[in-house]
Structure 1
Amino acid sequence: MKARKGGDLRELVRRAVSAGGIDDSSGAQEETTQMCLVRGGKRASLLQRRTRTRPPDLTHSIFKRRLDHAAVGAPFRNAPVTNFCMLISAVMLPSTCVVVPTYWSRAGGASCAGDAVYDHPTAVDAPSTLDALLESLEKLDTRTFYLLILVAVTGADVARDAEARVRDLVAGYPGVTSLVFGPSTLQVLRERLNGEAGEDRTSFLDLARYPKIRNLQLAIPLTLGSQAIVALDDDEIVTDSAFLRKATEPLGTSIDGRVVDGLSGYYLQDDGGILLRIDPDKSRSPNIFDRKASIMNAATEMLQRDPGDIVLTPFCFGGNMEFTPELAASVGFDPQITRGEDIDYLINARLEGKNIFMRKDLRILHRPPAGGSYQDASWSKLEQDVMRFTYEREKLLISQTVPDLRPLTVEELMPYPGEFLSDNHEEDAREALSAARYPEDIDGFLRHTTETAREKIDEYLRFRTSWPNVTARLRDDAGLRDKLLSRMRGV
């Protein structure tokens, strides 16, 4: 068996060498083969099994396509032989990354001052919604994707327990190739990216706060050379066996002369529909914040009326969102957003001339626990909505004057989020905050929100130019890629 495994792997390496145009005059092929067998027996066995299921010409074309791609091939073309085993692993890694952030708190749900705030973190000693998602993913064709799980915590003292809990959950699904990315792996990324100079290039990559976590869901797949990124949330269940095909098939194609840079789909509600349940009294209110769910439904109904199965959209859902590597590398999640980072990302993408579409039949069951639903109103969520919509309006205003931004108007984002970006939203915000018994000075809060939104714009303009530089560095970092691959389960 060992000899046959070695023979299969030698042929695999020979094809990789040939496809990559790598000079083998020094006998590197045999040395690499032996190293892969000795140091990566499990990996070699997996490669052997995968290769046997593919015709030789297809295996060769996979190597060539992946090696020709700058994110994977370029760093390895002239790499020393010691990196070659990782090259083979990178090439054979499925090209689609399914990424899921999961949020954890202390046992019993205990909180402390200074904790990161999430909608519904799971206590490390409580049942997790992640288990149901993993079970649904295992029913898909697991050869077509690998899973990246980002472990976010409310406080540093729970990090070890949370990471251990997630690893235990993932271990129950051995058929899924996976990487659990927790605080320990984040430290590796920081050391690689910041280097010896001490320059902080990771300020917008973190396992705390939604937009910084979302940036990791782009950065890590880019580092691993993924060709499609499918972002889900840990309170969802995949019910459609064709979900991944629907999620990735349109990426990079053109519709009506526009490139599909990104994609989104709907959340299925418990009743099987895609419309939010609404409070009849609030739906008749003249206040846009009371009518938020109704306005969101109106946006959905507008898209459903538009001809075609895949249509340009003014809104998206962060737990059912897909990215080309080009979009992920050029547009990041603004780290200054505290809520609604998915809508903000769509706006950022539009400002950069990128297009995000809605696929009408791309649907995932959304089952948030109590306290994590759009129906769970609080003055805190309302406060954050007012802050983010004020900030988004400032982005639209500066898009009219900054030369390299695509001008974007409120009308292009109607009815949602456009209704909340109009001139009169401040009066509605004042009324809604008063009705919600906001504990602070409302007028003072609104003035401060407007002032800080304008101040944040300069920081956003710096971020939008920094993000492509950071992602380019990550895509060229073969050493970091090696470290991530070595921590991956099932490769």
Structure 2
Amino acid sequence: MRAVRSVERYHCGRLYALCLEMEGVPLEPCVIIPTFWTRKRSRPAGEGPFQYDHPTPIDEDGTLPECLRSLESVEGLERVVLIVAATHESVEYAAEDRVREILADFPGLDALVVGPAEMGSLHRRMEQLEFADVLDAVTLGSYGAVRNVGLMVAATLGCDLVVFVDDDQVITDPSFLARAQEGIGEQTGKGKRVLAKSGYYTDEEGRYQFVTDAPWYDMLWRQDEAFTEALGAVARPPRITPSTVAMGGCLAIHKDLYASVPFDPWVARGEDVDYVINVRMHGGDVFLDGEWSVIHQPPKLPSEAAAFRQDVFRFVYEHRKLEFSKSQVDLRQVAPESLMPYPGPFVEGSVVWRARATALMRALAGKEPGEYLRIARRGVKQANEYARDNCERYFAFQRRWPMLMDRLWEDVALKTLFTGERRIDRSAITGRFPVVPPER
């Protein structure tokens, strides 16, 4: 039986009222790992909205091997899907090859790799099913789009539950997947079903909150403090509670939700927190589980200024998106006040002038002053223009998503490809033909 019957059954605002009864029904989880790669270690370049924080150079192993090694001890692990994204088209196939080389060291994992070749097949299938109009929302070009690819692969495989794990996470709890399923499908006291929940990140010593004194130049941009305050729910009962934040590297989403609400491909970063907002617009919540966590071991950001630029694009876009959503009669309104303590202060109307002022003050602090001056002079304006031009695109895409997922659910053509029953000749696609030994 398909998880999605028709778009009418998942009409916006009625998602949770029409969910299937799930208590007591065992789920079949699928672990999805987005992994990001680049040509070589270098500083981020460009001023556009989409840059990955810390992609792995293709001549290095990065954090992926340790992540995969930690999965080997997880009980109940069935299928692992690796979504390979690259910062440049010139290294797309090399990145895929690198991931396959790393994966070869873990023969015990039932894993499949989705790279540019599989994306070509996925796009052609979408065209055949008359969804060519949303191809740009399902790519390997942004955090949200990459996660949507993972959801589409999961639907093709008929997965009940998607569990996202980032490639810089380490899992130490053998019952990680069992904990991922706890609470899923249960009904809250307010009549809502838990269809998505996030765990949280810790360091190796188990710490998940890092309270530091914000420097003077961040007096208008207390982002870390606000996020840390939001994580305070971890230590308070009940164990599973509605949240304003989510962590994409420890995130479980049931099919009745992921087949209805996609990630936003046009948000620059923080697509996990944005997903909380998307779900709220459709009448639901993403919950935070205080007893489900992973160890986070991210590499050091190559440029704090580049990350700040992405946050400026992200929050200015989010503000305009919330404003545009007020014109959508079939959506529940989400106000910044309902997103306190985070991300509420950063999606208010003041975000534009606060971003510019913060960029100027950071430029005075002496670290990457040129980059911060460029953000103040051009970056904030570019973010505003980008948000104005794109803030309505997600809503048109979202209305097509349930129909697309309905058509892809256990699609025979793609399922045989993803499961290996039908293979792609990558040598014909990449031009890297095998060497033929000379005749003796």
Distance 1:100 1:285 in 2: 36
- TM-score, normalising length from structure 2? 0.82
Distance 2:204 2:114 in 1: 30
Closer/same/farther in 2, CA of residues 174 and 385 from structure 1, 3 Å limit: same
Please tell me whether the aligned partners of residues 269 and 276 of structure 1 are also in contact (alpha carbons under 8 angstroms).
no
Closer/same/farther in 2, CA of residues 351 and 442 from structure 1, 3 Å limit: same
- C-alpha deviations, 1:56-105, integer Å up to 9, x for none? xxxxxxxxxxxxx32599xxxxxxxxxxxxxxxxxxxx821100011122
State the partner residue of 1:287: 219
Distance 2:181 2:133 in 1: 33
- C-alpha deviations, 1:182-238, integer Å up to 9, x for none? 111111111222129793442211122211111111111011100000001001100
Q: 1:4-403 alignment to 2 at 5 Å?
A: 69-70=1-2, 95-106=28-39, 117-141=51-75, 143-195=76-128, 199-256=132-189, 257-276=191-210, 278=212, 280-282=213-215, 287-289=219-221, 291-301=222-232, 303-304=233-234, 306-371=236-301, 377-378=304-305, 380-403=306-329
TM-fit CA distance, 1:127: 2.6
Closer/same/farther in 2, CA of residues 488 and 163 from structure 1, 3 Å limit: farther
Distance 1:239 1:371 in 2: 25
Distance 1:264 1:462 in 2: 26
Distance 1:414 1:336 in 2: 23
State the partner residue of 1:481: 415
- C-alpha deviations, 1:311-363, integer Å up to 9, x for none? 10001111111111111111111111111111111111111112210000111
Closer/same/farther in 2, CA of residues 428 and 225 from structure 1, 3 Å limit: same
Please tell me whether the aligned partners of residues 288 and 420 of structure 1 are also in contact (alpha carbons under 8 angstroms).
no
TM-fit CA distance, 1:175: 1.7
TM-fit CA distance, 1:463: 1.4
- C-alpha deviations, 1:94-128, integer Å up to 9, x for none? 82110001112225669998997321111222132
Compare 394-403 and 213-222 and name the one that shifted more. 394-403
Please tell me whether the aligned partners of residues 287 and 428 of structure 1 are also in contact (alpha carbons under 8 angstroms).
no
Please tell me whether the aligned partners of residues 194 and 201 of structure 1 are also in contact (alpha carbons under 8 angstroms).
no
Q: Which of 349, 353, 375 is residue 427 of structure 1 equivalent to? A: 353
Q: Which of 321, 324, 330 is residue 404 of structure 1 equivalent to? A: 330
State the partner residue of 1:470: 404
Closer/same/farther in 2, CA of residues 234 and 286 from structure 1, 3 Å limit: closer
Distance 2:321 2:44 in 1: 35
Distance 1:179 1:242 in 2: 22
Distance 1:401 1:241 in 2: 46
Distance 2:250 2:74 in 1: 16
TM-fit CA distance, 1:442: 3.2
Please tell me whether the aligned partners of residues 235 and 290 of structure 2 are also in contact (alpha carbons under 8 angstroms).
no
- C-alpha deviations, 1:277-336, integer Å up to 9, x for none? 53x243x777241x21111111112x1354210010001111111111111111111111
Greater length-normalized contact order (CA 8 Å, ≥ 6 residues apart): 2
Please tell me whether the aligned partners of residues 96 and 226 of structure 1 are also in contact (alpha carbons under 8 angstroms).
yes
Instruction: Give the aligned residue type for 2:336.
Output: V
Structure 2 counterpart SS, 1:381:
helix
Instruction: Give the aligned residue type for 1:274.
Output: Y
Closer/same/farther in 2, CA of residues 313 and 487 from structure 1, 3 Å limit: farther
Distance 2:334 2:152 in 1: 26
Distance 1:337 1:315 in 2: 15
Distance 1:315 1:271 in 2: 22
TM-fit CA distance, 1:415: 0.4
Distance 2:28 2:40 in 1: 37
State the partner residue of 2:388: 454
Distance 1:444 1:165 in 2: 37
Closer/same/farther in 2, CA of residues 172 and 114 from structure 1, 3 Å limit: farther
Structure 2 counterpart SS, 1:481:
helix
Instruction: Give the aligned residue type for 2:163.
Output: V
Please tell me whether the aligned partners of residues 72 and 224 of structure 1 are also in contact (alpha carbons under 8 angstroms).
no
Please tell me whether the aligned partners of residues 104 and 153 of structure 1 are also in contact (alpha carbons under 8 angstroms).
yes
- TM-score, normalising length from structure 1? 0.74
Distance 1:402 1:166 in 2: 42
Please tell me whether the aligned partners of residues 131 and 404 of structure 2 are also in contact (alpha carbons under 8 angstroms).
no
Distance 2:84 2:421 in 1: 14
Distance 1:461 1:72 in 2: 19
* Superposed CA RMSD: 2.8
Aligned pair count reads: 392
Structure 2 alignment gaps of length 5 or more: 6-26, 364-371, 424-440
Structure 1 alignment gaps of length 5 or more: 1-68, 74-93
Computing the radius of gyration from Cα coordinates, the structure with the larger value is: 1
Please tell me whether the aligned partners of residues 314 and 413 of structure 1 are also in contact (alpha carbons under 8 angstroms).
yes
State the partner residue of 1:6: none
Closer/same/farther in 2, CA of residues 71 and 311 from structure 1, 3 Å limit: closer
TM-fit CA distance, 1:241: 1.6
TM-fit CA distance, 1:276: 2.7
Please tell me whether the aligned partners of residues 97 and 147 of structure 1 are also in contact (alpha carbons under 8 angstroms).
yes
TM-fit CA distance, 1:448: 4.9
Distance 1:450 1:208 in 2: 21
State the partner residue of 2:19: none
Distance 1:306 1:377 in 2: 32
Please tell me whether the aligned partners of residues 32 and 80 of structure 2 are also in contact (alpha carbons under 8 angstroms).
yes
State the partner residue of 2:340: 414
Please tell me whether the aligned partners of residues 3 and 255 of structure 2 are also in contact (alpha carbons under 8 angstroms).
no
